[in-house]
Amino acid sequence: MPIVWLFLIVIAISAVGYVLGRSRALHSAGGDSRNLHSLPTFYGANVALKALIPAFGLLIAWLLLQPLYVNSQVSGMIPDTAIKEGSSRSLVMAEVRRTADGLNNAVSQGLLTEIEAANPNADNAEVTRILKEAGQVVTSDITQPVLLAAQKHRVMNTTGYSIMSVVIILAALAGTGISWWQTHAEYRARNVVEQGVRALLLAAASIAVLTTIGIVLSLVFNTWEFFKLYPASDFFFGTTWAPSFSGRGGASDLGIIPLLWGTFYISLVALLVAVPIGLFAAIYLSEYASPRVRSIAKPLLEVLAGIPTIVYGLFALLTVGPLLLDVFGDGGLGWMKAGTAVMTAGLVMGIMLIPFVSSLSDDIINAVPQAMRDGSYGLGATQSETIRQVVLPAALPGIVGAILLAASRAIGETMIVVLGAGAAARLSLNPFEAMTTVTAKIVSQLTGDADFASPEALVAFALGMTLFILTLGLNIFALYIVRKYREQYE
Amino acid sequence: MNDMTRVERAVDSKDIKINAKQVQVYYGDTHAIKDVDVEIEDKTVTAFIGPSGCGKSTFLRCLNRMNDTIDICRVQGDILLDGEDIYDKRVDPVQLRAKVGMVFQKPNPFPKSIYDNVAYGPRIHGLAKNKAELDEIVEKSLRRGAIWDEVKDRLDAPGTGLSGGQQQRLCIARAVATEPEVLLMDEPCSALDPIATAQVEELIDELRSRYSVVIVTHSMQQAARVSQKTAFFHLGNLVEFGETGQIFTNPEDPRTESYITGRIG
């Protein structure tokens, strides 16, 4: 039975449970809802929730665990001799899964009957041909152990899913039945539903947190793998970045310093552009602009934040780069060799960051109490004196927080760098030279054709981990400052 | 304007600090202040009393053009400070506010040190030639604000760390530091406890020897305690204006009597 159907059936059961629970509660109160502990809808919701939650919980757990169980069972069927030189058990298992999927497709398209699909003595070449016809990608001819394993895989999965359907429908029915039986006028359905709502919100919050932990763990394990293959001191203190894709290990220089320098330099240029412009724009919008201008200008400025970074990258590559080359290139001052440079990427990234700085700073400046401004005006200060000496100092911690958030955004930016700054890892002070950043190199290391177990590919995780720790530190620092500021006016 | 009134004004201006004539204030379409005539004397405490929303704070904010910061507010009529129209085009509202200082309802020290709070006005207006003079101004102002003894050992501490009553006296010291001629106070004690209120009231009485003080208050006892002149506002009109003793013991207008005996308000 397809999962969608199962899903709909469980929902239908809980809908029926809702109606039943509601009417039973009303009936037990003699038809007068004033005699009930809770509103009738709470009794309905109580039954519906108790049907839904155990059934769906079980469904998710089953869907996660069944493939693990089937794999471990089927994996034992493949003899070590069936694993070719240079291959691995996990690759063969992938082949088994593809074959099992192919058999399923072939059966559903009518190319094979159930009996043929389960036939252990079927001709391997014939099966391969039929699977290809059914649209399944099969890399090579299917061997006898793979076919047997695939058939077993298929059978186990099919029976597993059938049992699952029955168990889940039973669970939904049991939940409905028990909670229906519990329902009477004194039952505190409202409190139970309240608990349910609380659990739902808690689940949403924990998914976000758990995902973060999962991401960190995946980074940590792969980083660990990398440091087993490549010395950590060379990685952190090496001043050359020269991965080799032909020689495996050893021949590559994977020093992070040129990349960190590029990241830092480009972010610095970006912040030098974004912070003054963003801050001045925020001051204008919050202190000088009339409500009409503000209501038009602020959303327009925030449109900048909605432009995808790849579009900024194109802007850097096609407009800003050539423009800078005209002025600073060989035709002009002669400092610049090509359109891709730190300056190009930094300028465009700065433009991208303007709305971050301006929008956050604007909110923070607005949060400075009007009493501060009145106090300053009342002493005969002008508007700019008031802003410079009272409003900005009061808002400074918040503005610093906004700038740090923009900085962590700049450090993590990739597309603009790929298109605007070039791909050469270089340690140089000249902002008109091409450089590259950590993020851009992560992309190029993982999109190459390097073996996934080689240090050239695994270095991406070490780079990602370093970047993650850097931006995490910046974010924590920014949040700390913002929070400290918030306490000031409460 | 004939010669007669001009002569009269020259005589009056010796003790009349602010002379408001036929003042109208509009917030958008709302007519908030109607035909108000008040003469505020020098070295006197004048109290504005009246129920909430009667326009007394609005009128107070006209006296140093704080209403200019509100876009929809319009002021008509004449308000003369020492015989000069403060709404004249040649008058710089920023300079005016240095001359007519203001203390607000809620203590609003800047998030700076106590010293910098008081030195703020003198620095902006360049009243001190050097650090020593500035120190002197700060000390003098804090003494006039009756808070010097409490803060002299911690001038570098943030002004926001003081208690409510201390903060309000700091704000008064801050206003005094720019050497104003008139001090406007908008319910200066409404956020303070009775002890702090008593201290501020005592201070107001001392300030009378140097400045003309105008105070808006909701407390009729406070008006009776600190002021020599009282103006009663009701629904945007100035109902009655006169000696404080006269207003509280023998009011002419029945509305004044109703208000001070607690029947309206």
pLDDT tens digits, A141-182: 677 778 888 888 888 888 888 899 999 999 999 999 999 998
The answer to whether the CB atoms of B175 and A374 lie below 8 A apart is no
On whether residue B225 sits in a domain, the answer given is: yes
Question: What per-residue confidence (pLDDT) applies to A16?
Answer: 94
Question: What per-residue confidence (pLDDT) applies to A131?
Answer: 75
Question: What per-residue confidence (pLDDT) applies to B210?
Answer: 86
Closest chain A C-alpha to B222 CA, distance in angstroms: 24
B171 touches chain A (CB under 8 A): yes
**Pick from A133-147, B8-22, B98-112: least confident:** B8-22
Q: What is the ipTM of this complex?
A: 0.84
- Give the chain A residue whose CA is nearest to the CA of B174: A379
Question: What per-residue confidence (pLDDT) applies to B14?
Answer: 44
Question: What per-residue confidence (pLDDT) applies to A220?
Answer: 92
**Does pLDDT of A418 surpass 50?**
yes
- Give the chain B residue whose CA is nearest to the CA of A384: B124
Contact A53, A200 (CB under 8 A): no
Average pLDDT on A222-246 reads 84
Contact B33, B231 (CB under 8 A): no
| Mean pLDDT over each residue of chain A, to the nearest integer | 85
Task: Read off the CATH number of the domain in which B57 is found.
Answer: 3.40.50.300
Report which listed range, A65-74, A167-176, A430-439, B84-93, is most confident: A167-176
**Does pLDDT of A249 surpass 60?**
no
B106 touches chain A (CB under 8 A): yes
The answer to whether the CB atoms of A380 and B175 lie below 8 A apart is no
Question: What per-residue confidence (pLDDT) applies to A110?
Answer: 76
Closest chain B C-alpha to A287 CA, distance in angstroms: 11
Contact B228, B243 (CB under 8 A): yes
pLDDT 10s digits, B170-222: 999 999 999 899 999 998 888 888 888 888 898 898 888 888 999 999 888 89
Residues of B in contact with A393 (CB under 8 A): 110-112
Question: What per-residue confidence (pLDDT) applies to A268?
Answer: 94
**Does pLDDT of A283 surpass 80?**
yes
Contact A454, A248 (CB under 8 A): yes
| Mean pLDDT over each residue of chain B, to the nearest integer | 87
Average pLDDT on B150-157 reads 91
**Does pLDDT of A89 surpass 80?**
no
Q: Phi and psi for A242 in degrees, rounded to 5? A: -145, 80
Q: Give the start-to-end residue ranges of the domains of chain A.
A: 3-187, 241-489
Residues of A in contact with B109 (CB under 8 A): 375
CB-nearest partner of B120 from A290, A379, A394: A379
Question: What per-residue confidence (pLDDT) applies to B7?
Answer: 43
Question: What per-residue confidence (pLDDT) applies to B3?
Answer: 47
Average pLDDT on A210-231 reads 90
Residues of B in contact with A380 (CB under 8 A): 94-99, 121, 124-125, 178
Closest chain B C-alpha to A488 CA, distance in angstroms: 9
Residue B105, domain extent = 42-64+90-260
How many independent structural domains does chain B possess? Answer: 1
A488 touches chain B (CB under 8 A): yes
On whether residue B15 sits in a domain, the answer given is: no
Pick the CATH number of A241-489 from 2.60.120.10, 1.10.10.10, 1.10.3720.10, 3.60.70.12: 1.10.3720.10
Predicted confidence band of residue B6 (pLDDT cuts 50, 70, 90): very low
Question: What per-residue confidence (pLDDT) applies to A246?
Answer: 52
The answer to whether the CB atoms of B124 and A393 lie below 8 A apart is no
Contact B265, B83 (CB under 8 A): no
Sheet containing B182-186: which strands, arranged edge to edge? B84-85, B73-81, B16-27, B30-41, B237-243, B229-234, B45-49, B212-216, B182-186, B100-103
Number of inter-chain CB pairs under 8 A, A vs B: 70
Q: What is the pTM of this model?
A: 0.73
The answer to whether the CB atoms of B104 and A371 lie below 8 A apart is yes
The answer to whether the CB atoms of A380 and B174 lie below 8 A apart is no
**Does pLDDT of B4 surpass 60?**
no
Give the C-alpha separation, A40 to A174, whole Å.
21
